[in-house]
Amino acid sequence: MTKTLFNTIYEGYAYSYPHKHSYRTLTPQNLRSLWQEEKKDALFLYIHLPFCEMRCGFCNLFTIANPRANMVDAYLETLDREAAAIKEQIGPEGFGQMAVGGGTPTFLDLPQMEKLFSIIHQLGCNPGDIPASFEMSPATITKEKLHLLYTQGIDRVSVGIQSFLEQEAHALGRPQKNKEVYAALDLLKSYPFETVNVDLIYGAYGQTLSSWLYSLQEVIRYDVREVFIYPLYVRPLTGINRMDHAEEDSRFMFYREAKQLLISAGYKQISMRMFQKKDPAPQRYTRSYSCQEDGMIGLGAGARSYTQSVHYSSEYAVARQHIRSIIEKYIARPDFNHVDYGIMLNKEEQQRRFIIKSILHGDGLDLRRYNDLFGRHAWLEYPLLQELTADGLAWLEGDLLRLTSTGVDYSDAIGPSLYSTSVKQLINEFELQ
């Protein structure tokens, strides 16, 4: 039955909507006026550090490996200026969540990381009061850096490992050493972070079911609280794209096996990619951020910011020379008082965003809340929701529409099928550099 709804399971990862490939140059808009009418008491603060010690073959994130010596310091100075502009122009009243990602934020040395936290505090954000996450790679973790993160109140640390087999990691274009992986995990486990997350990838060239299960077993053995499993997507301009990858697609089978293994090891599936230990982390927070309704303030080149009706960022690229030039442009900006690249969301796009974020990443789509916000009936307006239910991919409990376990397996087909025609067209026409 499901085959009648979707041609492929792996259409795309709908982690945000609209996708950044739909962003274009905007008529410059004043930052202060853009945020004037927005709710500002439970914002998400995201800071992007576009630097890594290596460029992995599968990665299309906005980052460069081994930037020139003074670029990171110049970048931090610019973050400082941008934060000051945000404070003055937007006037955040409170933060409900924060994350530092990239790139590899632990690529920064200790004084640079200290500077980063002083910028965060300057914005009025105290990581110790809210869910606060920090990304890292095994080779860049040190005791001193973890100590700083812990004392600053970071409660979730996320480490990209991808595979516990060196050969497999190398096939992913990631020159990772197992010695560093195990040393990093030992070190991480010696700090009482509430959540340690490990990222793994399946579908790599040469990966077998038993090598994939081996990596999962290693994560389970380390008893980390959270695991993200990512299907490999071969993306334009990345190293993997140039490797003439031609392995039979076994991703779905690998995924199903992983799901079964993680659930039997005591993990709960939260989304297609995210599994969490059943015991919840202690809740020490007073505010909560809702990704469907609250705004996001992005700091840094490549970071996205969201108001209800405008999503914006710097430009986006994958090739090294273009990323470098976007970072240089960011550093050279005389001020941060206006926004000139992104997408305007009309009512229909806001509705679609609410549905996609709720059904794929949240606790389900609250049809009553949707009706309160938009004055419309999602169930009637989006026949796909009824089709998903008829096909056994979603189920309705009162006003809440949730994906079934099989529906979650089809997330990468369901998400893109909810994109509007105009966003799909913008994505298709995007000239990736």
Residue from 18, 92, 96, 103 that binds ligand SF4 (CB under 6 A)? 103
Query: Cβ 140 to ligand SF4, closest distance in Å?
Result: 9
Secondary structure percentages of the chain, helix, strand, coil, to 5? 40, 20, 40
Query: Cβ 240 to ligand SF4, closest distance in Å?
Result: 11
Give the Cα separation of 98 and 45 in Å (integer).
Answer: 5
Residue from 19, 20, 40, 55 that binds ligand SF4 (CB under 6 A)? 55
Residue 59 near ligand SF4 by CB under 6 A: yes
Query: Cβ 281 to ligand SF4, closest distance in Å?
Result: 24
Residue from 22, 78, 97, 104 that binds ligand SF4 (CB under 6 A)? 104
Query: Cβ 56 to ligand SF4, closest distance in Å?
Result: 3
Structure tokens of 284? 């020490």
Nearer to ligand SF4, 67 or 131 (CB): 67
Residue 52 near ligand SF4 by CB under 6 A: yes
Q: Binding mask 192-231 vs ligand SF4 (x if CB under 6 A, - otherwise)?
A: ----------------------------------------
β-sheet bridge partners, residue 306: 296, 311
The number of beta carbons lying within 10 Å of the beta carbon of residue 365 is 26
Residue from 96, 102, 138, 231 that binds ligand SF4 (CB under 6 A)? 102
DSSP conformation letters of 394-424: EEEETTEEEE-HHHHHTHHHHHHHTS-HHHH
CA dihedral 224, 360, 376, 421 (to 10 degrees): 140
Give the Cα separation of 355 and 366 in Å (integer).
Answer: 9
DSSP tally for the chain: helices H, then strands E: 17, 18
Residues in region 366-395 near ligand SF4 by CB under 6 A = none
Between β-strands 195-202 and 226-231, what pairing exists: parallel, antiparallel or unpaired?
parallel
Q: How far is CA 305 from the centre of its chain?
A: 13
Q: Binding mask 285-324 vs ligand SF4 (x if CB under 6 A, - otherwise)?
A: ----------------------------------------
Residue from 89, 97, 133, 137 that binds ligand SF4 (CB under 6 A)? 137
Structure tokens of 38? 């927005």
Using the rule CB under 6 A, give the single segment among 102-110, 126-134, 232-240, 387-395 that binds ligand SF4: 102-110
Nearer to ligand SF4, 52 or 393 (CB): 52
Q: Binding mask 60-99 vs ligand SF4 (x if CB under 6 A, - otherwise)?
A: -x-x------------------------------------
Residue 56 near ligand SF4 by CB under 6 A: yes
Residues in region 149-168 near ligand SF4 by CB under 6 A = 160
Query: Cβ 137 to ligand SF4, closest distance in Å?
Result: 5
Nearest-5° angle of CA 253, CA 256, CA 258? 110
Residue 19 near ligand SF4 by CB under 6 A: no
Nearer to ligand SF4, 52 or 219 (CB): 52
Distances (CA, A) of 229 to 83, 144, 191, 365, 385: 33, 29, 24, 23, 26
Nearer to ligand SF4, 67 or 127 (CB): 67
Give the Cα separation of 254 and 213 in Å (integer).
Answer: 8
Helix (H), strand (E) at residue 29: strand 24-30
Closest CA to 198 of 214, 179, 185, 207: 185
Number of residues that bind ligand SF4 (CB under 6 A): 11
Residue 50 near ligand SF4 by CB under 6 A: no
3 state SS of 13: coil
Query: Cβ 425 to ligand SF4, closest distance in Å?
Result: 28
Residue 251 near ligand SF4 by CB under 6 A: no
Query: Cβ 51 to ligand SF4, closest distance in Å?
Result: 8
Give the Cα separation of 198 and 277 in Å (integer).
Answer: 12
375 conformational bin, left if phi > 0, alpha if psi -120 to 50, beta if neither: left
Using the rule CB under 6 A, give the single segment among 101-109, 326-334, 382-390, 400-408 that binds ligand SF4: 101-109
Q: What residue ranges bind ligand SF4 (CB under 6 A)?
A: 52, 55-56, 59, 61, 63, 102-104, 137, 160
